[in-house]
Structure 1
Amino acid sequence: MQDTTSAASTSGVSKQRTPQPTYKHGNEEQGKDRFPLGTRASQLALIQAHHVAEILDSLHPGAGYSFPVAPMSVAGDRNKKDPLYLLTNQQAGTGQSEVLQQEATAKTQIAKSLWTEELEEALMERKLDVIVHCLKDMPTQLPENCEIGAILTREDPHDALVVKKGLGYERLSDLPEGSVVGTSSVRRIAQVRKMYPGLKVMDIRGNLDTRLRKLDDPNGPFSAIILAAAGMNRMGWQDRITCTMKSPEILYAVGQGALALEIRAGDARVKQALRRVGDWKAEWGTGAERGLLRELEGGCSVPVGVEAFIEEVSETDIEDLVRPFDKDPEEVKDDAPLLHQSGRGKLAKLHMTACVTSLDGKKQVVHDAGWVLVKGFLEAEEWGHRVAKDLMGKGGKEILDEINLVRQQREQGLA
């Protein structure tokens, strides 16, 4: 049901593309208006940034624009040893006193900034005009002077199971009891423990090629690992995917599979260059997911899973749809943030399912919010907030409180 069309033809990335070793600078760009694209320095990040540059080039033929790629090493990539939940030191900011909520929220945002802060500093210093992010790595609250300028057509947002070479298993359920499954995501760890308590889950860090090498090591402990399908597809390694994992087995991470372009807030020059690159369905869908996550104050180390579908509808198709808002949205002005302008005049039906799972997998709350009619990005985002409140009311709050308490005790040396 995931839509894969876009006026800008942004669906997917060339499957065998490899990052170019050199970038356009200096004399090669004389007379051109440069828009440097910042990115992390991994092979996957470079592939994604070059994909964005190609799309932007195609949208502005003969305009005299250039989009050089500028990679940077960031803190989150420099530590590939520690488990993410120790590296990020995140907490869920739900169900505590106001002070503790604020502290937990701050830690969540600081944690995710391990992948974004240094790039954002270069953006604000105007060394960059755009940052290409995996949306799932971005905090739900950006620095005051930054905004998301566009979200491209989404790749497959689901998780992928990759089985060690030579083993004939086709699904996670095929693995014998005691088999070791590798992942760096607490969300995946919690959901695997819920569905398959007989399996052992072990942390695995590193770039995709490093994780695959660890998996296939004959002397290594892993029978399988779980990765984002989008990353494998973009690397051209989809032949290594054993199967794609979908609900009810596992719900994916907020924003997974989507590329976001971060810019300086209110930068009219850059906004104009990005005006046609976004996919409004991807923007509304991920907007709803990020609205949910912002309400839960979760992050990489909080086991929140989601699944969202969005489909365009016409006035003749909306009679039987639930309309959760009392009035239509106000008209969005041309100088508003680009995401607020996304899909102006469109109608869509949106379906969201979300879950919170305890770290040991013994407790899980799943909320299916059903189909609703939304009339803009801001409505989709607000619906995500409301779904999160319903999820907490069904028992998700208690799970997040327990997770927060355990982490506070760990930090204080009590656990």
Structure 2
Amino acid sequence: MTSLRLGTRRSALAMTQSGHVADALRAAGHEVELVEIVTEGDTNRASLASMGGTGVFATALREAMHAGEIDLAVHSLKDLPTAPAPGLVVAAIPARVDPRDALCARDGLTLGELGEGAVIGTGSPRRRAQLAALGLGLEFRDIRGNLGTRLAMVGSDEGQLDAVVLASAGLTRLGLREQITELLEPIQMLPAPGQGALAVECREGDEQVLAALHLLDHEDTRAAVTAERGVLAELEAGCAAPIGALAEIVDDVDGLVISLRAVVTATDGSADLRRSITGPMAEAEDLGRRLARTLVADGAPELADLQATHPSTASEHVQ
């Protein structure tokens, strides 16, 4: 039995995600203490991109690990930069929850029922660009805040939003799936690389912690998200680049393989570029990088700013 200090952000979603990992470790016979860590992403209401992007949620947790204040941390994998953190390792990627995006609209409406001029709240340039590309005449407003805050903006006089688009996984983990009025299929909107998956990170060389986390690792999920993040790594994509990717493990004539799709969308939704590739699970990262090179060769850099770190079409912020 190992005694473990698990660092977590204070948000309801982070606490829930960390709680799931803690419960799995306890079931395996380990003692787990949750240690709350405050990150800049929790206290700063500016746009995520303007604070430096996805890594803003991971920095404080990683600093606490380096300082020996905690032994491990749970991240939403899509919030982790693709570059490895010196001295740390993603020791476990548990089985993934539904990676799709979800529409939460007033009056139970679907995307097609909202109508031209409907106002959608999202802080994601990826979601905004792909929604605009559908040609439904939607309008957009940048928003920040936890899931409860965002959901409360829908249909309210203060928020003046007809709908928000959120990750299905977060809603599921918080028991809020009844708020979903439509799950957006990948043909409409490819999710962020790693969406729906968790990453459990610890210090390199911490053999007791590594051994404890090994049983939580899910081979198929790790292969899928490794391929998706390979696309981002090869493109050296910025936090506001309108890129989506989804890998699935499928049964082929030669056994299980990775089927990977990716999209780069013009920020205004005027055009998009979708490509796909299939290959062995053992070549997950290489598949992602090969698909990224195909996107580049076919014009992705001319279509969108792949290194974008601020949404170029940002509108007013709703607090």
TM-score normalised over the length of structure 1: 0.72
- Residue aligning to 2:265: 357
What is the distance in 2 between the residues matched to 1:398 and 1:118? 36
Equivalences, count: 313
Paired residues for 1:260-299 under 5 Å: 260-299=199-238
- Residue aligning to 2:292: 388
Question: SS state of the match for residue 352, structure 1?
Answer: strand
CA contact (8 A) 1:173 1:196 kept: no
Question: SS state of the match for residue 216, structure 2?
Answer: coil
What is the distance in 2 between the residues matched to 1:247 and 1:116? 27
- Residue aligning to 2:15: 46
- Residue aligning to 1:141: 83
CA contact (8 A) 1:187 1:300 kept: no
- Residue aligning to 1:20: none
Among candidates 46, 71, 74, match of residue 132 of structure 1:
74
What is the distance in 1 between the residues matched to 2:47 and 2:311? 17
| Identical pairs, percent | 36
What is the distance in 2 between the residues matched to 1:197 and 1:359? 15
Question: SS state of the match for residue 165, structure 2?
Answer: strand
Question: SS state of the match for residue 140, structure 1?
Answer: coil
For the structure 1 residues 123 and 189, does the alpha-carbon distance in structure 2 shift closer, same or farther, using more than 3 Å as the test?
same
CA contact (8 A) 1:153 1:282 kept: yes
User: Which runs of 4 or more aligned residues in structure 1 lie more than 3 Å from their structure 2 counterparts after TM superposition?
Assistant: 402-410
CA contact (8 A) 2:74 2:198 kept: yes
- Deviation sequence 1:210-235 (CA, Å, 0-9, x none): 11111241453200110000000000
* CA deviation after TM superposition for structure 1 residue 122, in Å: 0.7
For the structure 1 residues 285 and 211, does the alpha-carbon distance in structure 2 shift closer, same or farther, using more than 3 Å as the test?
same
- Residue aligning to 1:196: 135
What is the distance in 2 between the residues matched to 1:406 and 1:76? 15
* CA deviation after TM superposition for structure 1 residue 409, in Å: 10
* CA deviation after TM superposition for structure 1 residue 113, in Å: 2.4
CA contact (8 A) 1:34 1:67 kept: yes
Paired residues for 1:278-357 under 5 Å: 278-311=217-250, 317-318=253-254, 348-357=256-265
- Residue aligning to 1:7: none
For the structure 1 residues 312 and 180, does the alpha-carbon distance in structure 2 shift closer, same or farther, using more than 3 Å as the test?
same
Question: SS state of the match for residue 310, structure 1?
Answer: strand
Paired residues for 1:68-87 under 5 Å: 68-80=33-45, 82-87=46-51
TM-score normalised over the length of structure 2: 0.92
Q: Is there any run of 5+ residues in structure 1 with no aligned partner, and where? A: 1-31, 89-110, 319-346, 411-415
Match for 2:68: what amino acid? Answer: R
Higher strand share: 2
Among candidates 84, 87, 93, match of residue 151 of structure 1:
93
What is the distance in 1 between the residues matched to 2:133 and 2:121? 15
What is the distance in 1 between the residues matched to 2:91 and 2:138? 42
- Deviation sequence 1:47-104 (CA, Å, 0-9, x none): 11111011111123xxxx3111112110112112x2333333xxxxxxxxxxxxxxxx
Whether 2:231 is the aligned partner of 1:231: answer: no
- Residue aligning to 1:373: 280
CA contact (8 A) 1:281 1:311 kept: no
Question: SS state of the match for residue 170, structure 2?
Answer: helix
- Residue aligning to 2:24: 55
Higher alpha-carbon Rg: 1
- Residue aligning to 2:60: 118
* CA deviation after TM superposition for structure 1 residue 276, in Å: 0.9
CA contact (8 A) 1:186 1:300 kept: no
* CA deviation after TM superposition for structure 1 residue 362, in Å: 1.0
